[in-house]
Amino acid sequence: MDTEDEFLIGPTHRELLDQVLDKWSLSVLSELCERPCRFNELRRAIPQVTQKSLTATLRRLERNGVVEREVVSTRPVAIRYRITPLGKTLRPPIDVLLAWASANMPAITRARDAFDLREEESRMGG
């Protein structure tokens, strides 16, 4: 237990969430929650990701135990990535996050517009 009485985040949790919720992880996990995928399937499903970043993301997720890399010994070997049981437990949190994003997108867009407008005005009047 920490000495803090309230909820504080701490470097350990921060680091973990960084690894599991980073730029491409959410998309990869979303894909793999639906079905196991091969490398190039994932690339096609997430067109913006580069090969390099996808490789890095998969390695990181594998290291953290939420994704599993399976070598299928067919002719020119296939690699199959699948979500692990531990990885599946991430889905509710992710869904809550996505639900929040969907529900509040309009309010956030309004907030951004208002902020940008105030900024612009202060540049002119300031």
Partner DNA sequence: CAGGATCCAATTAGATACTG
Partner DNA sequence: CAGTATCTAATTGGATCCTG
Contacting residues toward its own copies, per CB under 8 A: 5-9, 11-14, 16-18, 21, 23, 26-27, 30, 34, 45, 48, 62-66, 86, 89-90, 92-93, 95-98, 100-105, 107-108, 110-112, 114-116
Residue type for position 36:
P
What's the min distance (Å) between Cβ of 115 and its own copies?
4
What's the min distance (Å) between Cβ of 77 and its own copies?
16
Q: Interface with DNA includes 17 (CB under 7 A)?
A: no
Cα gap 119→126, rounded to integer Å: 10
Distances (CA, A) of 87 to 34, 68, 122: 12, 9, 47
Given a contact cutoff of 8 angstroms between Cβ atoms, the answer to whether 31 and 37 are in contact is yes
Q: Which is nearer to DNA, 3 or 122 (CB)?
A: 122
Q: Interface with DNA includes 79 (CB under 7 A)?
A: yes
Q: Interface with DNA includes 99 (CB under 7 A)?
A: no
Given a contact cutoff of 8 angstroms between Cβ atoms, the answer to whether 24 and 53 are in contact is yes
Cα gap 7→36, rounded to integer Å: 36
What's the min distance (Å) between Cβ of 15 and DNA?
11
Q: Among its own copies, DNA, none, what does residue 64 contact (CB within 5–8 Å per kind)?
A: its own copies
Strands (E) in 6-125, as ranges, are: 37-38, 67-72, 78-83
What's the min distance (Å) between Cβ of 111 and DNA?
18
